[in-house]
Structure 1
Amino acid sequence: MSQTTVINKLGRTSYPERKVNLYENLQSLAKSYNVIALCRMTKVRSAQLMAIRKKFKNEIKILTIKNKVAQRAFEQIFEDVKGLEFLNKELEGQCALMFTNLSPFKLNLTFDKNKIFMAAKGGDIAPNELLIPAGNTGINPGPVLSEFKESNVPTKIDQGTIWVSKDTIVAKPGDVISQKLAALLSKLDVKPIEAGVSVNYAIAEGLEFKEKDLKIVVQEYVDEIVRSFQEALALTVEAVYFTKESTPLLLIKGKQHGLSLAVEAGYLSPETVELVLGKANAVAGNLSQQLSSKGYSPQN
């Protein structure tokens, strides 16, 4: 293999050309994109990463490399890319680096929308209650019956296939899924494990974003915006401040106040005559009741 000389802060060292190209590619990507994100691969399966890499190949560049290689490449461009020194400290365990111009929040939301459900493996943690529903499994009787029995799932044989007698919870949230239960769930095509990529750390324009900072529940923000708009609109109406949104409400409110004032003053108009007469009738009725209670009776 050919050798190339690379200069780093430790001095002049000879590296294989392949490694030099990798260093240069990492440094070029770091300088070319606004956002560098880090994903820890401990709960990510290679098939998921391949699917995401294929789907977003024009928007996100994804590299899985050794942490030391990335750290040494990045050390040489700390002055060129703000925040890169923070990212270097986060490179622990098996990681994937993502280079993109999407904001860290949009990147994380994009991954959330592309999560899939996968078959469980032995040792996985149940994310919620796992239920095997009653009904025909379509599985022929045989050794698999013992797997149902070990998982305490009641069964019967009907028309040559195994039927589950009743809905059965086989795991609760937080339970460790055994190898045998995982095999049974797979046979029943039950896929309980939500799988996907999450952004665990990111830097953007010198700012660092940790995983907790990037967790956004979109509906909560939508609800907050709607609530803020309604409160602001109510304030503008109360303050009689005219805007495009408040003007129709202010005109309605003005009309209602005008009608109330006219009725209170007994002013007759096509809009108030029924209201004035109705109020007069109510006053007369109330007066009649008070007089009757004092022994007075109406005179014809």
Structure 2
Amino acid sequence: MSQTVVTNKLNRTSYPERKVELYNTLQELAKSYNVIALSRMTKVRSAQLMAIRKKFKNEIKILTIKNKVAQRAFEKIFGDVKGLELLNKELEGQCALMFTNISPFKMNLTFDKNKILMAAKGGDIAPNELLIPAGNTGINPGPVLSEFKESNVPTRIDQGTIWVSKDTVVAKPGDVISQKLAALLSKLDVKPIEAGISVNYAISEGLEYREKDLKIVIQDYVDEIVKSFQEALSLSVEAVYFTKESVPLLLMKAKQHGISLSTESGYLTPETVNLVLSKANAVAGNLAQQLGSKGFSTSS
């Protein structure tokens, strides 16, 4: 069946209908959503992208398309979408374009929370220490025993299956995972590679956000907010500024000052009687000690 084409009457150039549809779709999406972001696909596997597309299909439109097609489509609507010309310059290498009304920060955090663990491939970098635990692997003896030996994993045969004799570290953070080790980890169902996509660049309402701008450590912000709250509360108490949060502390502080003043002046109240008597006893003991040192008798 011949492919349907659309002809540009001005320059007599024919374009596949699918490319024209993508061209028009890109322009419509760019005008319809507040945020346009891109993710570089150099370290992203197709399975990951499919899973994310499925999970966020109602919130984020994700398209993978040739950069030239996207750039030409966007050039026509620079005046309609602020910052689009900035994003056009970032389209290099293999990219996925994302259109959404979710803020770039929230989108990046959402992607971070939805990363998945995948089997390693030869050439992957170990993200952390990789350990093969001791115990029954459930694998029947055979050629696979050589894979254990090459990875320096001690084994024994018991009840017809291979057992790992002791916990064994097979890779440290930053090590390159060999093809043979990757195959062994896959047989053991060890999935050490954290996979997901990140927002590498985004525009929203004319503002641009680079990857470093979107990296947020939530706990750092929580700690900063807690610190700021505590400092503001301390200041309001010192300044005797009444707020819902400072009133209990101000009343407690006033009570403590009142008790201290009553104790110092010898004013007896249910709250101060023990303190006043204790202070009087201490003063009397000190006086008796001084008189005794001067030769005076303090016994009755």
| TM-score normalised to structure 2 length | 0.95
List per-residue Cα deviations over 1:181-230 (Å, max 9, x = no partner). Answer: 00000111110000001111111111111111111111111111111101
CA-based RMSD of the aligned residues comes to 1.5
Q: Which residue of 1 is the match for residue 109 of structure 2?
A: 109
Q: What is the alpha-carbon distance in structure 2 between the residues aligned to residue 211 and residue 2 of structure 1? A: 39
Identity value in percent? 85
Contact 2:263 2:276 (C-alpha < 8 Å) held by counterparts: yes
- Does the 8 Å CA contact 1:120/1:193 hold for their aligned counterparts? yes
Q: What letter matches 1:148 in structure 2?
A: F
Structure 1 partner of 2:165: 165
On the 8 A contact 2:5/2:15 being kept in 1, the answer is no
The one-character-per-residue Cα deviations of 1:5-52 (angstroms, maximum 9, x if unpaired) are: 388xxx885534332221111011001100001011111111111111
Amino acid at match of 1:74: F
Change (3 A) 1:12 1:292: farther
Measured in 2, the distance between the counterparts of 1:294 and 1:146 equals 95
1:153·1:164 contact (CA, 8 Å) conserved in 2?
yes
Q: Is the 8 A contact 1:6 1:15 kept in 2?
A: no
Instruction: Give the gaps of 5 or more residues in structure 1.
Output: none
Local SS of the residue matching 2:248 = helix
Deviations along 1:212-269, whole A, 9 cap, x unmatched? 1111111111111111101100010011111111111101101110110111111112
Letter in 1 for 2:214: L
Task: Using the TM superposition, give the Cα deviation of residue 293 of structure 1 relative to its aligned residue in structure 2, in angstroms.
Answer: 3.5
Residue in 2 that maps onto 1:156: 156
Shift of 1:287: 2.2
SS in 2 for 1:216: coil
Contact preservation (8 Å) 1:126, 1:175: yes
Cα distance in 2 for partners of 1:5, 1:289 equals 112
CA contact 1:37–1:201 (8 Å) conserved in 2: yes
Q: Is the 1:6–1:20 contact (alpha carbons within 8 Å) kept by the matching residues of 2?
A: no
Partner SS, residue 170 of structure 1? strand
Q: 1:32, 1:182 → 2: CA distance?
A: 44
**Deviation larger for 175-184 or 289-298:** 289-298
Q: Equivalents in 2 of 1:63, 1:247: separation in Å? A: 55
Distance 1:19 1:6, change over 3 A: farther
Aligned-partner Cα distance in 1 for 2:238–2:85 = 52
* Alignment CA distance shift 1:67-1:6 (3 Å): farther
1:3 aligns with 2:6: yes
Please give the alpha-carbon distance, in whole angstroms, between the structure 2 residues aligned to 1:65 and 1:171.
37
Please tell me whether the aligned partners of residues 6 and 20 of structure 2 are also in contact (alpha carbons under 8 angstroms).
no
- TM-score (norm. length: structure 1): 0.95
Structure 2: stretches of 5+ with no match in the other structure: none
Q: Which residue of 1 aligns with 2:63?
A: 63
